[in-house]
């Protein structure tokens, strides 16, 4: 299964073989054996290379977690670490709660059943020591501190509205059209801000907005948009589920807002506890999986 995961990620028997130190033929034999054992085709070969079948995509999601578990198991054995237990205190923004941190915590507690999660969900930064926290998920540029920061990923902001709202109004074609609509803002969005016309973020346009409504959480901003109240500029991974099911549509798709970096901040110096390492792996996995869908 680990060999299959490498082939799927590399989209090549040859590249997977180089990565794993195996011959192309040995890789091919292992994949054929796996397909025979499962009784389903996992890879579809064609003139342009290969692609995953539906069964292959389902198995790959499991294999990716398995690979992390195997690597972590070796790390535990090499360092003779004891199974972690007790309180695992963390703070996260609302945007990370449902599709990223809760699945990560669920998997973490399956692997380390002695852990007792203590979760604080807030968009306000919290000091780790003052609030007796182990880790924090942080959005935006980091301030100088003695804490350690691990990068999770970067998300762009996109304008979006409900399909019904767009049907009731004429389509937006230029930035100035935003002035004609109800604009919903989050607490950190100012009356004047920059948007960009391409993915390289080189062509900047300044926007002056009179907001129809403001809210202090991304979750409520999404709900306001879903209830046909207006247009909002929101991070891509937050709106992805609603974009996928057609409840939300992108507005002014050639423009995007700022890019938000996300970090996992912890207070451990030197070698990190094994459950901290694993939690970071899981958060990155679910964040990447969600972000890749948009």
User: Is a pLDDT exceeding 90 seen at residue 74?
Assistant: no
Distance CA 261, CA 286 (A): 16
- Same domain? For 163 and 243 the reply is yes
- Same domain? For 68 and 23 the reply is yes
Q: Give 63-114 as a 3 state SS string.
A: HHHHHHHHHHHHHHHHHCCCCCCEEEEEEECHHHHHHHHHHHHHHHHHHCCC
- Same domain? For 121 and 267 the reply is yes
User: Is a pLDDT exceeding 70 seen at residue 172?
Assistant: yes
Distance CA 204, CA 198 (A): 9
Task: Over range 87-114, report the average pLDDT.
Answer: 92
Q: What pLDDT does residue 132 have?
A: 94
Task: Over range 194-206, report the average pLDDT.
Answer: 79
DSSP-derived secondary structure letter, 256: B
* 110 vs 177 pLDDT, higher one: 110
Confidence label for 204 from pLDDT (cuts 50, 70 and 90): confident
User: Is a pLDDT exceeding 60 seen at residue 65?
Assistant: yes
On average, the pLDDT of the chain sits at: 85
Q: What pLDDT does residue 231 have?
A: 93
User: Is a pLDDT exceeding 60 seen at residue 183?
Assistant: yes
- Same domain? For 118 and 73 the reply is no
What does DSSP say about strands 213-215 and 183-186: parallel, antiparallel, or unpaired? parallel
User: Is a pLDDT exceeding 90 seen at residue 283?
Assistant: yes
What is this structure's pTM? 0.66
- Same domain? For 112 and 176 the reply is no
Count the domains in the chain. 3
Q: Distance of alpha carbon 178 from its chain centroid, rounded?
A: 28
Q: What pLDDT does residue 43 have?
A: 84
- Same domain? For 22 and 110 the reply is no
Q: What pLDDT does residue 80 have?
A: 47
Q: Which CATH number does the domain housing residue 178 bear? A: 3.40.190.290
- Same domain? For 62 and 10 the reply is yes
Task: Give the domain range for residue 114.
Answer: 86-154+260-291
Which positions ≥6 away from 120 have C-beta within 8 Å?
89, 90, 91, 92, 126, 131, 133
Confidence label for 76 from pLDDT (cuts 50, 70 and 90): low
- Same domain? For 253 and 264 the reply is no
- Please choose, from the candidates 93, 138, 137, 134, the residue with its C-alpha nearest in 3D space to the C-alpha of residue 115: 134
- Same domain? For 240 and 281 the reply is no
Task: Over range 110-130, report the average pLDDT.
Answer: 91
Task: Give me the helix-helix angle, 54-79 and 2-10, nearest 10°.
Answer: 120
Q: What pLDDT does residue 285 have?
A: 92
Task: Over range 50-58, report the average pLDDT.
Answer: 84
- Give the range among 155-169, 191-205, 257-271 with minimum mean pLDDT: 191-205
Q: What pLDDT does residue 232 have?
A: 93
The rounded percent of the chain whose pLDDT value lies above 90 is 29
Distance CA 8, CA 14 (A): 12
What values do phi and psi take at 205, rounded to 5?
A: -125, 130
Which of the listed residues 58, 79, 100 is the one where a domain comes to its end?
A: 79
Q: What pLDDT does residue 135 have?
A: 95
Which of the listed residues 60, 79, 98 is the one where a domain comes to its end?
A: 79
- Give the range among 49-63, 155-169, 242-256 with minimum mean pLDDT: 49-63
> Distance from first CA to last CA of the chain, Å, rounded?
27
- Same domain? For 213 and 143 the reply is no
Q: What pLDDT does residue 79 have?
A: 56
Which two tokens mark 115? Answer: 């852990």
- Same domain? For 111 and 228 the reply is no
Q: What pLDDT does residue 218 have?
A: 84
Q: What pLDDT does residue 200 have?
A: 67
Confidence label for 81 from pLDDT (cuts 50, 70 and 90): low
CA torsion sign for 292, 190, 91, 160 is negative
- Give the range among 56-65, 175-184, 255-264 with minimum mean pLDDT: 56-65
Between the alpha carbon of residue 228 and those of residues 160, 167, 212, 221, 223, the distances in Å are 11, 10, 13, 11, 9
Q: Which CATH number does the domain housing residue 55 bear? A: 1.10.10.10
Which of the listed residues 55, 79, 103 is the one where a domain comes to its end?
A: 79
CB atoms within 10 A of CB 259: 14
- Same domain? For 105 and 139 the reply is yes
Q: What pLDDT does residue 78 have?
A: 57
């Amino acid at each position: 299964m680990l060999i299959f995961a490498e082939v799927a990620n590399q989209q090549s028997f040859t590249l997977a073989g180089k990565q794993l130190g195996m011959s192309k033929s040995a890789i091919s034999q292992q994949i054929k054996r796996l397909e025979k054992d499962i009784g389903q085709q996992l890879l579809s070969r064609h003139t342009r290379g290969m692609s995953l079948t539906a069964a292959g995509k389902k198995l790959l999601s499991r294999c990716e977690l398995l690979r992390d578990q195997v690597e972590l198991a070796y790390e535990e054995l090499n360092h003779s670490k004891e199974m972690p237990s007790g309180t695992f205190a963390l703070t996260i923004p609302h945007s990370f709660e449902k599709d990223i941190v809760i699945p990560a915590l669920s998997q973490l507690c399956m692997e380390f059943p002695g852990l007792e999660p203590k979760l604080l969900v807030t968009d306000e930064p919290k000091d780790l020591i003052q609030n007796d926290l182990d880790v924090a998920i942080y959005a935006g540029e980091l301030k100088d501190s003695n804490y350690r920061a691990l990068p999770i990923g970067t998300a762009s902001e996109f304008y979006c509205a409900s399909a019904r709202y767009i049907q009731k109004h004429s389509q937006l074609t230029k930035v100035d059209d935003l002035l004609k609509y109800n604009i919903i803002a989050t607490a950190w969005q100012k009356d004047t801000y920059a948007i960009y016309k391409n993915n390289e973020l080189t062509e900047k346009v300044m926007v002056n907005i009179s907001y129809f409504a403001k809210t202090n959480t991304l979750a409520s901003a999404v709900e306001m948009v879903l209830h046909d109240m207006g247009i909002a500029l929101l991070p891509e991974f937050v709106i992805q589920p609603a974009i996928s099911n057609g409840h939300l549509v992108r507005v002014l798709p050639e423009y995007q807002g700022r890019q938000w970096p996300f970090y996992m901040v912890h207070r451990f110096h030197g070698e990190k506890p094994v459950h901290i390492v694993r939690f970071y792996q899981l958060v990155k996995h679910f964040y990447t999986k969600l972000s890749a869908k948009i």
